[in-house]
Amino acid sequence: GSCQGNSVERKIYIPLNKTAPCVRLLNATHQIGCQSSISGDTGVIHVVEKEEDLNWVLADGPHPPYMILLDGNLFNRKVMLQLKGTSRVSGLAVSIAKPNPPQGFSPGLKCPNDGFGVYSKDYGPQYAHCNSTVWNPVGSGLSYEDFDFPIFLLEDANETQVIKQCYQDHNVPRDGSGPEYPLCAMQLFSHMHAVTSTVTCMRRNSIQNTFSINPETVCDPLLDYNVWSTLQPINSSGKVDPQKEVIIVATRIDSHSFFWNIAPGAESAVSSFVTHLAAAEALHKASDVHLLRRNIMFTFFQGETFDYIGSSRMVYDMEKDKFPLRLNNIHSFVELNQVALRNGTVLWMHTDPVSRLNDSVQTQIKNLLNILSSSSAGTNVTLQEVGYSQPLPPSSFQRFLRARHIPGVVLTDHQAAFQNRYYQSMYDTPENIQMQYPEGLSPEETLEYVTDTAKSLAEVATVVARALYQLAGGANNTSAIQADPKTVSRMLYGFLIKMNNSWFQSIIKPDLKGILGDVPQHYVAVSSPVNTTYLVQYVLANLTGTVVNLTKEECLNPEKTPNTEKEMYEYAWVQGSLDPNSTSRVPYCVRSTVHLSKALSPAFELRQWGSTEYSTWTESRWKEIRARIFLVASKELEIITLVVGIAILVFSLLATHFINAKADVLFSIPRDPGAVAY
């Protein structure tokens, strides 16, 4: 209960509450990430703000092992590999660099999702393993190293200051010699249950489930849901007519960084899926969409960071007839990748050079590129085609190409290497995509304020929406199709700065109020659906659905209500906005074509935990994650305290034994002097 006598603990320890751990992830062959020993790791704190400070930790300091408070600018591969190779380090607390490191920082791979895209020894071998284009040149691969000590991120500058003050007061070396006891120490707990690889941990799960009454799971697959909807409603439980052509528009909605659940993903995910949502809204507003010859499917993939979990699952479901669409329904594929950091006005169109060797595919791709280029007329976007000899960047489209030669294009802000210098890192924040607000705005004003970034992304969305309209067979003038910068502003604010805002509150179901945390993160995780998935689902329903006049009962049970076409539409009873004159909300029913489909790698469905075809990423389980600082006494004082304690214990045992042995003498009842025996 809450009445634990922990006042002594509170006097000894200062807990660090705003931290994010590095946790262990596993795939078919490796384990990556960090962990502590089972009882946590402890060390004397040493602050490292420049590389020379490392000498004390690695060689000179007399009190190893050390817990390092590392400046964010030194959190790089060179320093980390030095620390990894020594037993004098017991853990690491990293402070965030302010401003973002100017040289860039990406703990991801130089060649993201290598081996799981379309290029291999059998398909475009000259493009495999980023042979021709290194997409993420600043990628250090730190996120994919395995560290046997805990590493925590300090999210709160005040807590970082508390640690530095404790270090200043107790641990600063005096005149080159070691500081005097007591010393300031830190303890980090992040013990992980899973080891070796996904194959090992899933086998252990399986054995536990078979033989144990209380099975203890050691790891879980990364999983979530893809969000998809169509321009014209389709029967989600049936099958689309094989003759019906569908254009797929796709983006990813997840990101990643070195630390668990720290994944702002401003440029790597949010910029593209927000643009995608704005394009979907603009298209739905066109008056003749129900007459278009081809349908359009808006698809938001989850788990793409981890070897294309969402897209590989959708392709698998299409091949196995577990999805309303089949692969041969796909007319063409348009993917929005990183689009917020355009150089001037240019947006690059990437295509696959291998499938273009096929004449019919080449003709369709040419048509697709022409339509895209012509759609940018009159906007502040210039579309340019990347050189013919360059492969596709890492993209969900690659998983579809693995299954079938589909004409497609990937739109990005980079011609070759990423413009994003903070790919898959904690610094891929609103500042990275130049989102700036004037001083002194209230949260409501910030939500509505149209930034330059929002205007730029709205223009990209306008071009995409117009091109899709033409691709789908639209004959009218497209100048009326226009994405709304105000909507884009709201989405950027909600997905990057503050989820718990008035707009998001008004468009979700009442029972989902709890998902609106403060700072949004876009990590795929193992408990699904995550906040991002829910919010993309409800934003898409809000932007593309219609408000219908149904009561709460009818909306929640559409199968019992006549004329609802339950198999064609989804219904949601949402909170609505606050009534201006009271504290109550005005809820309503939204009808849309937005659906969720599973984003769990087929490897787990097929129990092929060592698969090289599908993603095999799992996340280890853990018991507790916490960090705290305290003062530690010298070893001599600890030994003296122990010896004195043992001496007192031995003395008390001897005294007890002696008293016990002489108890009849010491505690005998004195005789009554008056009683004399004869």
Domain boundaries, the chain: 7-191+625-636, 223-545+593-600
Q: For residue 240, give Cα distances in angstroms to 159, 225, 516, 559, 593.
A: 56, 21, 36, 21, 14
> What pLDDT digit, counting tens, does each position of 177-190 carry?
778 889 999 999 99
Average confidence (pLDDT) over 415-444: 93
pLDDT value, residue 394: 96
pLDDT band at 3 (very low <50, low <70, confident <90, very high): low
Among 236-245, 276-285, 669-678, name the one with the lowest average pLDDT. 669-678
Average confidence (pLDDT) over 444-461: 95
> What pLDDT digit, counting tens, does each position of 464-485 carry?
999 999 999 988 888 889 999 9
Average confidence (pLDDT) over 242-247: 93
Beta-carbon neighbour count of residue 649 at 10 Å?
10
pLDDT value, residue 289: 85
pLDDT at 73 over 80: yes
> What pLDDT digit, counting tens, does each position of 340-386 carry?
999 889 999 999 999 999 999 999 999 999 999 999 888 899 999 99
Angle of helix 271-284 versus helix 452-471 axis, rounded to 10: 50
pLDDT at 507 over 90: yes
Average confidence (pLDDT) over 552-565: 87
pLDDT value, residue 673: 61
Average predicted confidence (pLDDT) for the chain: 92
CATH of domain 223-545+593-600: 3.40.630
Rounded Cα gap, residues 549 and 552, in angstroms: 10
> What pLDDT digit, counting tens, does each position of 26-48 carry?
999 999 999 999 999 999 999 99
Q: For residue 238, give Cα distances in angstroms to 80, 227, 233, 417, 537.
A: 53, 18, 12, 42, 21
pLDDT value, residue 674: 61
Q: 425, 107 in Cβ contact below 8 A?
A: yes
Sign of CA dihedral 628, 631, 636, 642: negative
Average confidence (pLDDT) over 149-165: 95
pLDDT value, residue 676: 55
pLDDT value, residue 343: 87
Average confidence (pLDDT) over 224-234: 95
| Strand, coil or helix: 20 | strand
Residue 42: name the closest of 150, 148, 147, 145 by CA.
150
pLDDT value, residue 479: 87
% of the chain exceeding 90 in pLDDT: 78
**What amino acid is encoded at 33 in this protein?**
G
Rounded Cα gap, residues 574 and 545, in angstroms: 12
pLDDT at 672 over 70: no
**What amino acid is encoded at 419 in this protein?**
Q
Q: Is 380 exposed, middle or buried (0-12, 13-18, 19+ CB in 10 A)?
A: middle
CA angle 213/219/224 to nearest 5° reads 115
Task: Provide the CA 616 distance to its chain's centre, in angstroms.
Answer: 17
Q: For residue 285, give Cα distances in angstroms to 87, 123, 379.
A: 63, 41, 19
Average confidence (pLDDT) over 399-405: 95
> What pLDDT digit, counting tens, does each position of 291-314 carry?
899 999 999 999 999 999 999 999
Higher-scoring residue by pLDDT: 10, 574: 574
Among 5-14, 17-26, 134-143, 374-383, name the one with the lowest average pLDDT. 5-14
Say what the alpha-carbon torsion angle 548, 236, 300, 479 is, to the nearest 10 degrees. Answer: -60
pLDDT at 162 over 60: yes
Q: 622, 260 in Cβ contact below 8 A?
A: no
Q: Using only the alpha carbons of the chain, give its radius of gyration.
A: 31
pLDDT at 670 over 70: no
Q: Please identify which residue in the block is written with the tokens 């993209």.
A: 395
pLDDT band at 214 (very low <50, low <70, confident <90, very high): confident
pLDDT at 2 over 70: no
Q: What is the DSSP letter of 120?
A: B
Average confidence (pLDDT) over 60-79: 93
> What pLDDT digit, counting tens, does each position of 326-336 carry?
999 999 999 99
Task: Provide the CA 224 distance to its chain's centre, in angstroms.
Answer: 11
> What pLDDT digit, counting tens, does each position of 373-386 carry?
999 888 899 999 99
pLDDT value, residue 1: 45
Residue 92 neighbours by CB under 8 Å, 6+ apart = 67, 68, 70, 83, 149, 150, 151, 152
